[in-house]
């Protein structure tokens, strides 16, 4: 999933539509409750500021939210901390088109665990999004790590990059070295809906009941894929509208 000019299009559009009320590059430090609503303390340009809000809609990751609401409910804080986010290393590779000796006639591939490869799968970016390269080049995104790979870290990432490039070249029938390599390690990438998830979900629901006007979204709640995140955002919008109409 992406936009023609990349995911940054979305926050840029929000900024344009919301005007002055959109605060970018601001880090929320804490959220506390008062008689009329909530007090949000945030850092912008290294200056600490505060604002009073009737409602709070949070879509920060659960491990961030858990710290922000520590003063409101310790139990929810602990439950949110339990949600496990494994690491994922994203590896971008570029090649000259004529280096790839197979048809790029799909979206990419996922690798079954029994194949015992160093990476999870690859997206053929330049096939999906033709404006990402010139006509003479192709590019790919490889995903490494995930819940079953406990070895991935900043220290070991080069080992996984080297092995993945070798295995990818074999699968794709590529003899040349990549003309472009870039990588990004997401240390806490994707929340896992593990066995204890129902108790974490219950804690979130109870927190919202006890704290009217506080709404919790984000990919640890109603699904990971971007489509699910957009659906979840619509649910949150309806809930906020209903809250103000009461
Ligand atoms: C490597 C990778 C590849 C993926 N590929 C796909 C894909 O191809 N297709 C797909 O459908 N899904 C994909 N996903 C899943 C999808 O991208 C995510 O589930 C989704 O983007 C999560 O959206 P979110 O708004 O919940 O969280 P995020 O996008 O993580 O947003 C959370 C935001 O909170 C901000 N934040 C954190 N702390 C604070 C703070 N203290 N104060 C203020 N702001 C804060 C962060 O800066 C961030 O902007 C991928 C995920 C990963 C990690």
Cα 184 to middle of ligand 1, angstroms = 14
Cα 148 to middle of ligand 1, angstroms = 20
- Nearest-atom index, ligand 1, CA of 27: 42
Give the pLDDT confidence score for residue 169 in this predicted structure.
Answer: 98
Average pLDDT taken over every residue of the chain: 95
Give pLDDT tens digits for 153-200. Answer: 999 999 999 999 999 999 999 999 999 999 999 999 999 999 999 999
Cα→Cα distances 208→6, 59, 205, 216, Å: 34, 14, 5, 7
150, pLDDT greater than 90: no
Give the pLDDT confidence score for residue 205 in this predicted structure.
Answer: 97
Give the pLDDT confidence score for residue 17 in this predicted structure.
Answer: 96
- Minimal-distance CA residue to ligand 1 atom 10: 225
The domain spans of the chain are: 9-84+193-245, 88-186
Provide the CATH number for the domain formed by 9-84+193-245 in this structure. 3.50.50.60
Give the pLDDT confidence score for residue 145 in this predicted structure.
Answer: 96
Does the ipTM exceed 0.90? yes
Give pLDDT tens digits for 64-92. Answer: 999 999 999 999 999 999 999 999 999 99
> Ligand 1: which residues within 6 Å by Cβ?
1, 27-28, 59-61, 64, 88, 90, 186, 189-190, 218-219, 224-226, 229
Provide the CATH number for the domain formed by 88-186 in this structure. 3.90.660.20
- Minimal-distance CA residue to ligand 1 atom 7: 1
Give pLDDT tens digits for 14-59. Answer: 999 999 989 999 999 999 999 999 999 999 999 999 999 999 999 9
């Amino acid at each position: 999933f992406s936009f023609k000019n990349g995911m940054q299009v979305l926050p840029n559009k929000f900024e344009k539509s919301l005007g002055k009320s959109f605060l970018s590059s601001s880090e929320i430090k804490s959220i506390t409750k008062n008689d009329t609503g909530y007090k949000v303390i945030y850092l912008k340009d290294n200056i600490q500021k505060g604002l009073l809000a009737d409602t709070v809609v949070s879509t920060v990751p659960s491990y961030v939210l858990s710290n922000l609401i520590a003063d409101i409910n310790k139990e929810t804080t602990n439950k949110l901390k339990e949600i496990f986010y494994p690491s994922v290393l994203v590896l971008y590779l570029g090649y000259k088109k004529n280096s790839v000796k197979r048809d790029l006639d799909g979206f990419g591939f996922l690798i079954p665990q029994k194949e015992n490869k160093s990476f999870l799968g690859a997206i053929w970016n330049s096939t999906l999004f033709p404006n990402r390269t010139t006509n003479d080049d192709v590019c790919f995104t490889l995903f490494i790590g995930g819940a079953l790979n406990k070895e991935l870290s900043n220290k070991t990432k080069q080992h996984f990059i080297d092995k993945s490039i070798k295995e990818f070249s074999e699968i794709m029938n590529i003899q040349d070295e990549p003309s472009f390599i870039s990588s990004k390690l997401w240390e806490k990438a994707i929340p896992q809906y593990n066995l204890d998830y129902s108790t974490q979900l219950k804690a979130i629901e109870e927190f919202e009941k006890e704290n009217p006007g506080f709404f919790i979204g984000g990919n640890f709640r109603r699904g990971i894929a971007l489509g699910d995140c957009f659906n979840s955002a619509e649910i949150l919008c309806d809930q906020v509208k209903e809250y103000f109409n009461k």
